[in-house]
Amino acid sequence: MNDVPILPACELRIIDDTPTNEENCSFYGINKTPVTQAQVESGEMVLCEDIEYEDSVDGFAKLMFAKALGYLFTSHKLHEDHWAQPFIKNLDQEKVRISGKVIARDYFSGGFVVPTFVYLKHSR
């Protein structure tokens, strides 16, 4: 199966909701169409490996980045010799910068976290 030049839609996930820190990762949805080897090789479709969301300091930003650009995630780990392997991005190695006009800034003190919230007019 490593040489079949297509990835079935059921093997690819998209981020179709705002990523939240849920165990079942309900922010993922199933991609609706298969992806061909030619689409991946040309860069028309970008594949990513899952990130360890809970262990990643900037996991939310990277998942929002992937959502905005329509990146696809493989549902299962592909064989090391699969044709798609050289094209799968590791988002933990990507640098993501969020920018925009700050509308409001506040702090939240929860049981396990004490984050700073920043509300932006628009971001890119």
DSSP letter string, 60-123: HHHHHHHHHHT-EEESSPPPTT-TTGGGEEEGGGS-------EEEEEE---SS--PEEEEES--
Among 18-22, 48-52, 55-59, 116-120, the minimum mean pLDDT is found in 55-59
Beta-carbon contacts of 92 under 8 Å, excluding residues fewer than 6 positions away, are: 51, 52, 56, 62
Both tokens of 104, joined, read 């409001």
Name residue 18's amino acid.
Answer: T
Question: What's the average model confidence in pLDDT over 62-78?
Answer: 86
Beta bridge partners of 95: none
Question: What's the average model confidence in pLDDT over 91-118?
Answer: 76
Beta bridge partners of 28: 15
pLDDT of residue 68: 87
Q: Which of 28, 115, 122 is closest to 72 using CA atoms?
A: 28
Among 11-15, 53-57, 89-93, 112-116, the minimum mean pLDDT is found in 53-57
